[in-house]
Amino acid sequence: MSEAVSNLLKGIDYSKEFELLVEAYEKSGGTPEVLKSDKYASLAIHGNHVLGKNEVRGLRVETVETENGVRVKVQVEPGVRIQNPVHLCFGLVPEEGLQEIISDFDIGEEAEVKFIAHCSFPNALRIKHVMDSTIRLRRGAKMTYSETHFHGDEGGIEVLPTTRATLEEGAVFENEFKLVKGAVGRLKIDFKAKVGEKAVCEIYAKVYGKGDDDIVVSESLHLLGARSKGLAKSRIAVTDRARSEVIGEIVGDAAYSRGHVDCVEVIRGREAQVSAVPRLLVRDDTAKLTHEAAIGSVDKKQVETLMARGLTEDEAVDVIVSGMLR
């Protein structure tokens, strides 16, 4: 642990907060320059402190600091296409703490925006990170939300992201959650979306569990509008004593709605455990939902192909799992 972190833990040097958060942000794959550039809208939050915020034309970000986190309201004006991705940087550098980010995204009609979020908890021993998001995409809006986590190796963290999304007619929402560096700890994703007429909702979860990690991914897409589409795709790998459960639900309630659940969970070692629970419900005779799930060991033919190129079995499995989680 660096001296600056030690000082921060002792409560000595809070002026380093931003610097430390940015350092952790960089480790999680973020590009620090974008947090200081006027070209990019951005928001940096450490614990319950808003350390940096930048808006661009057509995008407003309001924040209110609370006892344990921050309330965030993001609005994109109708018809505005935000050229550059909006960068969000959340996290906690100390070993213990609670961070609650309560966010409300309102994307105006025909607006288009992409968010790249990095959540960093490099020293977590006893941390709880709560993300409650309400997302509304108005008619014809497009939003991509890509969230990457970076945790330390101790696994002393609970990550509880809850999302409630509403997609109006013709809206397109793509949501990706990725936690492949460091220990997961306890992760419980709870994602629900109501998908309107001709709207498209695609959600992706990629997680690598190790040690005693406990992963639950619960995704539900309710296809309410005619010709709406939904895809719930999960890629999970677990090793050691880690466990994962993926519950993928799609309800086809509207004419010609189409949905697909695609789950791959790979297990390494005798003490890990994976499970998949797809649930499809159709209430319209023109709707069509499908699912595919492959859980268990890494595909043998893939492993043997790479071994026939000179990789050991462990190296081959690493390549396959890394590719799957990329």
Partner 1 sequence: MEDTGPGQGGAERLHCVVRFSEKNEPGYDYGQSDLQNLNNGTMRLQIEKLNVFVNGYHILKDVDLVVYKGEIHSILGANGTGKSSLAYTIMGLESYEVRSGRILFEGEDITRLPVWERARRGITLAWQEPARFEGLTVRQYLLLSRRASKKGPPPEEALLRVGLEPSRYLDRALDESLSGGERKRIELASVLAMMPKLVILDEPDSGIDALSINFITDSIRLFAKLGASVLLITHHEEVAAMADRSSTMCGGTVLKTGSPDEVARFYRLHCRECEHVNEPEEEVARNV
Q: How far apart are CA 69 and CA 11, in angstroms?
A: 18
Query: Could you say whether residue 11 binds partner 1 (CB under 8 A)?
Result: no
Residues numbered 193-252 forming contacts with partner 1, rule: CB under 8 A: 235
Please say whether the beta carbons of 317 and 238 come within 8 A: no
DSSP state, 14? G
Q: What is the DSSP string of 74-134?
A: EEE-TT-B-SSPEEEEEE--SSEEEEEEEEEEEEPTT-EEEEEEEEEETT-SEEEEEEEEE
Among 284, 308, 317, 318, binds partner 1 (CB under 8 A): 308
Among 34, 302, 317, 318, binds partner 1 (CB under 8 A): 302
Among 19, 132, 176, 299, binds partner 1 (CB under 8 A): 299
Query: Could you say whether residue 271 binds partner 1 (CB under 8 A)?
Result: no
Q: In this structure, what token pair is assigned to residue 202?
A: 């695609």
Residue number, 75 or 302, with CB nearest to partner 1: 302
302, containing H or E segment: helix 300-307
Q: How far apart are CA 112 and CA 109, in angstroms?
A: 9
Query: Could you say whether residue 324 binds partner 1 (CB under 8 A)?
Result: yes
CB of 158 to partner 1, least distance (A): 28
Query: Could you say whether residue 292 binds partner 1 (CB under 8 A)?
Result: no
Query: Could you say whether residue 322 binds partner 1 (CB under 8 A)?
Result: yes
Query: Could you say whether residue 31 binds partner 1 (CB under 8 A)?
Result: no
- Going across the sheet that includes 200-209, the strands are 49-54, 42-46, 86-91, 112-121, 142-151, 172-181, 200-209, 229-238, 258-267, 288-296
Q: How far apart are CA 44 and CA 119, in angstroms?
A: 10
Query: Could you say whether residue 320 binds partner 1 (CB under 8 A)?
Result: yes
Residue holding tokens 């607006």?
Answer: 111
Query: Could you say whether residue 270 binds partner 1 (CB under 8 A)?
Result: no
Among 254, 312, 317, 318, binds partner 1 (CB under 8 A): 312
CB of 233 to partner 1, least distance (A): 11
Residue number, 11 or 310, with CB nearest to partner 1: 310
Q: How many CB atoms lie within 10 A of CB 309?
A: 9
Residues numbered 247-266 forming contacts with partner 1, rule: CB under 8 A: 264
Query: Could you say whether residue 326 binds partner 1 (CB under 8 A)?
Result: yes
Binding site for partner 1 (CB under 8 A): 235, 264, 299-302, 304-313, 316, 319-320, 322-326
